[in-house]
Amino acid sequence: MVATQETINKVNEVGSAYKYGFVTDLESEKAPLGLNEDIVKFISSKKNEPKWLLDWRLKAYKKWLTMKEPDWAMVDFPKINFQDIYYYSAPKAKPKLNSLDEVDPELLKTYEKLGIPIKEQEMLAGVAVDYVFDSVSVATTFRDKLAKEGIIFCPISEAVQNHPDLVKKYIGSVIPMNDNYYAALNSAVFTDGSFVYVPKGVKCPMELSTYFRINEQNSGQFERTLIIVEDNSYVSYLEGCTAPQRDENQLHAAVVELVAMDDAEIKYSTVQNWYPGDKDGKGGIYNFVTKRGNCLGNRSKISWTQVETGSAITWKYPSCVLRGDNSVGEFYSVAVANNSQQADTGTKMIHIGKNTKSTIISKGISAGKAQNTYRGQVQIQKNAKGARNFTQCDSLLIGDKCGAHTVPYINQHTPSARVEHEATTSKISEDQLFYCLQRGLDTEQATSLIVNGFCKEVMKELPMEFAVEAQKLIGISLEGSVG
């Protein structure tokens, strides 16, 4: 067991480094390949974590060992060798480039179309440029402003150090460590992510975005995000980036937990554009994400908006547990699958409290040979008197080699509840296309326009600047799929 020995040595090294004040060159650090208890310990000690968190990780790891990968999703991929993954490397091992001249010209073309400033392009493409001045100053002003309001917004590893009580209280409270295979894995090995805490009666004055945490961009395959919003407070959180990230990682298994107290509101928006693999389905990211919000308080509201255009495989069901009376859950989703992409995405709305209300609007777009599945569960529990759900699933097919599937599960245990489900499947008609062409729009423009029209109900839920880029992005994702 060479690998194990190597780990033990590493752990020992790290352990002794602490005594001397822990000064290490983070750039070169990497845990050995594979996963075992020592790796979990290694990660925890790297992050200088308290014992309770290490124990929590180890418990999750043990649970994970007993679990099986879920096989019910309509996705097909070769079995993942979990011993063939690096679970810790900081920052992520991307090949560093010296200038934009070394970047894949295709990628640059896309950046250009999205109108992304040069500096940002360099950052996204992984060009080794020193942004310390920029990002530090941005982050600092930004944090000062938030701190004045009592809002905490920091990497979760930092929150573990500075706000351990909050983290301890809420981590795993929405998504138990043994919730599912990937969530258990994440609980054992998560490396970083975001932490947000909004105290009582505060409306967060700006959209919180991972964008502002430029230096934390490389938080790894196993991100963990925790957002807690107290009574009468509000936050809007933007995740991701509209530009394609040059990321070679195969597996992304993130966990996002949201907690909303009485009259609190959380709006969580995602634009996911990871590398989808090439036209023949070679390469690309496996995006296996568990996201769930707990509407713990009465009249609380959690709203998920997602635009999913990237990844080879998307397995993702941002959900709401509507525990508080009169709480509201919303899910707005656009999932684009082109070429050989596979998407199995949807939501769960679990109605527990009285008069809880949920809305699901899902727009699936399939092109090329892609398969796109909406999978959703609406559960109305016994005490959820007067609960209401409205679900609308629309699928748009481009070409005749792709597929769209809608799999709704409805469990209703309360006579006074009302559940509505509507589903449509349509194609971009030749008439629509010709009408646009005759007005001088080219095929790409026309497709983008029609598809964005199809997604409008979801797009209008996105913050303005985000929506504009997401629109362009959908157009780019579908390039070459018509005509």
Cβ proximity to another protein: between 37 and 444 the closer is 444
Cβ proximity to another protein: between 88 and 454 the closer is 454
Cβ proximity to another protein: between 119 and 456 the closer is 456
**Counting contacts by CB under 8 A, is residue 27 touching another protein?**
no
Residue 269 makes CB contacts below 8 A (sequence gap 6+) with 236, 237, 238, 239, 305, 306, 461, 462, 463, 466
Chain positions 302 to 331 lying near another protein, rule: CB under 8 A, are none
Cβ proximity to another protein: between 249 and 445 the closer is 445
Cβ proximity to another protein: between 236 and 471 the closer is 471
Whole-number minimum distance, CB 455 to another protein, in Å?
7
**Counting contacts by CB under 8 A, is residue 429 touching another protein?**
yes
**Counting contacts by CB under 8 A, is residue 55 touching another protein?**
no
What is the distance, to the nearest Å, from the Cα of residue 158 to the centroid of all Cα atoms in its chain?
20
Q: Tell whether the torsion through CA atoms of 120, 124, 128 and 133 is positive or negative.
A: positive
**Counting contacts by CB under 8 A, is residue 77 touching another protein?**
no
- Strand, coil or helix: what is 452? helix
Burial (0-12, 13-18, 19+ Cβ within 10 Å), 289: buried
Size of the site for another protein (CB under 8 A): 24
**Counting contacts by CB under 8 A, is residue 439 touching another protein?**
yes
Whole-number minimum distance, CB 469 to another protein, in Å?
16
Q: What share of the chain is helix, strand, coil (3-state, %, to 5)?
A: 35, 30, 35
**Counting contacts by CB under 8 A, is residue 443 touching another protein?**
yes
Among 437, 463, 468, 482, binds another protein (CB under 8 A): 437
Cβ proximity to another protein: between 45 and 445 the closer is 445
Residue 478 makes CB contacts below 8 A (sequence gap 6+) with 336, 338, 365, 367, 398, 444, 447, 448, 451
Whole-number minimum distance, CB 385 to another protein, in Å?
36
Burial profile 86-124: b = 16 or more Cβ within 10 angstroms, e = fewer:
bbbbbbbebeebeebeebeeebeebbeebebeeebbbbb
Report the alpha-carbon distance of residue 227 to residue 151 in Å, rounded. 11
Structure tokens at 406: 């809608």
From the list 51-59, 120-128, 326-334, 447-455, the region that binds another protein by CB under 8 A is 447-455
**Counting contacts by CB under 8 A, is residue 436 touching another protein?**
yes
Whole-number minimum distance, CB 437 to another protein, in Å?
4
Burial (0-12, 13-18, 19+ Cβ within 10 Å), 264: buried
Residue 81 makes CB contacts below 8 A (sequence gap 6+) with none
Cβ proximity to another protein: between 104 and 442 the closer is 442
- Residues 108 and 60: beta-carbon distance below 8 Å: no
Among 129, 445, 463, 482, binds another protein (CB under 8 A): 445
Structure tokens at 423: 């589903």
Report the alpha-carbon distance of residue 124 to residue 469 in Å, rounded. 15
**Counting contacts by CB under 8 A, is residue 434 touching another protein?**
yes
Report the alpha-carbon distance of residue 164 to residue 51 in Å, rounded. 11
Residue 439: in which H helix or E strand, if any? none
Among 441, 468, 472, 479, binds another protein (CB under 8 A): 441
* Bridge partner residues of 380 (DSSP): 351, 412
Among 132, 457, 465, 480, binds another protein (CB under 8 A): 457
Cβ proximity to another protein: between 104 and 457 the closer is 457
Q: Tell whether the torsion through CA atoms of 60, 63, 67 and 73 is positive or negative.
A: negative
Among 8, 53, 423, 449, binds another protein (CB under 8 A): 449
Cβ proximity to another protein: between 409 and 435 the closer is 435
From the list 286-294, 381-389, 444-452, 461-469, the region that binds another protein by CB under 8 A is 444-452
Whole-number minimum distance, CB 454 to another protein, in Å?
6
Among 75, 455, 467, 470, binds another protein (CB under 8 A): 455
Following CA atoms 278, 280, 285, 290 in sequence, which dihedral angle do they give, to the nearest 10 degrees? 140
**Counting contacts by CB under 8 A, is residue 453 touching another protein?**
yes
Residue 227 makes CB contacts below 8 A (sequence gap 6+) with 194, 195, 196, 197, 235, 237, 256, 257, 258, 259, 266, 268
From the list 9-17, 153-161, 238-246, 453-461, the region that binds another protein by CB under 8 A is 453-461
**Counting contacts by CB under 8 A, is residue 422 touching another protein?**
no
Report the candidate in 237, 245, 242, 238 with the shortest Cα–Cα distance to residue 221. Answer: 245
Among 76, 280, 400, 430, binds another protein (CB under 8 A): 430
* Bridge partner residues of 289 (DSSP): 316
Whole-number minimum distance, CB 441 to another protein, in Å?
6
**Counting contacts by CB under 8 A, is residue 431 touching another protein?**
yes
Among 170, 332, 454, 466, binds another protein (CB under 8 A): 454
Cβ proximity to another protein: between 285 and 455 the closer is 455
Report the alpha-carbon distance of residue 22 to residue 8 in Å, rounded. 18
Binding site for another protein (CB under 8 A): 429-432, 434-443, 445-446, 449-450, 452-457
